[in-house]
Structure 1
Amino acid sequence: MAAVSARFGRDLEEDFRHIEQLIKQADADGVQLLALPEACLGGYLLSLDGTGAAEDPGPPPLDVDGPEIRRLAGLAGEMTVITGYCEAGADGRRYNSAVCVNGDGVLGNHRKVHQPLSEDASYSSGDGFHAFDTPVGRIGMLICYDKAFPEAARTLALDGAEIGVCISAWPGSRTNAAADLAQDRWKRRFDLFDRARALENQIVWVSANQAGSFGSLRFVGSAKVVEPGGEVLADTGVSPGMAVAELDVAGSLETARRFMGHLRDRRPDAYLHTAGAINA
């Protein structure tokens, strides 16, 4: 499996050329599951504070059953590929979405639920999380800020997800920005969330991210594959690249959960009781 750190912009043809190159590279490495960043098809927003919106129409809205997603599926072939795009919804709504495809078509789709800063001015919000079956295992998808909420990844794990795939356009800090992205505090959070979500749910975690700069945003890269114990198996660092790791998914889950099973040992009755007391 592999996670990509790369830059994508508004030019769809250029994006598709880049995706095709990455799929060929992954295929040469024997990759069966490839995670590409959020907003691969058409790029992300120019900023998260609303500036520049008047000059930029944003990424083109695409139909999940449209020709662009069918083109992506054709490029994927036997590989399972996950990528981000702007989804055209009903009544002119747009969603920041992730789609999972292979040569047979669409296997799963997720609309980003949690929206940071002013992203809600450009996208409507999704309303749920679900896992789905694929040739490489049962997958649950998140987008960027979704992974900051433990409930999101836990919902996927409880729905049987063996692999969590989070695709992002995660930038460096806007305030007190570090000259060296490797030292950026938002990068540290990005990495911490990846390891925590894998460990607390004891699932395989694949994290892709945009790299380079787009508008006023400078992305932290840091694509990675994390095993269910929270250990990073492969990482691109802040540069563009592809993090590739070979992993027996079923075996790694069995090993991680053999003695301490975080999902098995949950006590939902205690959590509900505590939540009721707090709300009261």
Structure 2
Amino acid sequence: FRREGRLTATPNMVLPTSAHAALEKGADYFSVESRRVEVGSDWRANVDAMSRAIDENTILIVGSAPQYPQGVVDPVEAIAALAQQHNINCHVDACMGGVTLPYLEKLGEPIPLWDFRVPGVTSISVDLHKYGYTSKGAGVLLHRNKQLRNDQTFVTDNWLGGMYGSSGILGTKSGGPIASAWAVMRFLGENGYLDATRSSRASTQRLAAHIDAHPDLVLRAQPDSTLLSFGTVDEKRHDVFALADLLIARGWYMDRQGPPASIHLTVNAVHASRVDEFLADLDECVAGLNGQSGEMGSYASTE
């Protein structure tokens, strides 16, 4: 952490409880204390609370665009201003929104600034295999400048095999996913991504409006992009995980998450023709609940 002008044996990072679990993995790898801060009532990062959690050992603060659980964009401008104030790094997790948000902005949606147009943002992550519609294994980590990127790369000649260099933690990686991602992005192009974003956003808004109007369901937040989550008004009568079980039994796939107990939907361009069918099944499954209970399950696996 010499670049920030200090050394610390006990580094910490400050991030909202909505920030992705992968950041916990990074903190565990590098012995960085994770200081999770409760979000506000709108599920967005609480900047005042984050400010209070920062101290002389804080090396990173994090915002999301959007955050995964409720699909809202954090106040990145305010978070990055904190980073500038304390001379620390600010990472924006745009894995879900890095492709979608720029096209939503081009389509006229009121998207708050979240990228390198914001002073103080030092890095951004984007998963191309999500809304870039590429195969898995293709993601990018963007740094604001080459000096920051230098911390990611590694070079040594301290062995008998000559000069060795790598661009990240992986020493060797396949070029297949990279070539595949390049091909898909070239194929879709500007117009393809505009159309895909327009379609997925329209489907998201239809789903959100229906759920928000349903007397037995509660929309966790109005979605800022193409992610949404919802629960039930009466959790004892309508267990949301039991509802997920009924929907899954009809062939639908979704995430079960919490807290709070919720169903999470990732809506993309292929769903436009299936929204009516899903909503009909959703209404029938809610009506069919009668005290059953379900389990949350897990987001991922170690297998």
TM, length-normalised to structure 2:
0.25
Larger CA Rg, structure 1 vs 2 = 2
Bigger RCO of structures 1 and 2 (CA < 8 A, at least 6 apart)? 1
Q: Hey, which of these two has a bigger chunk of helix by percent?
A: 2
Q: Hey, which of these two has a bigger chunk of strand by percent?
A: 1
TM, length-normalised to structure 1:
0.26
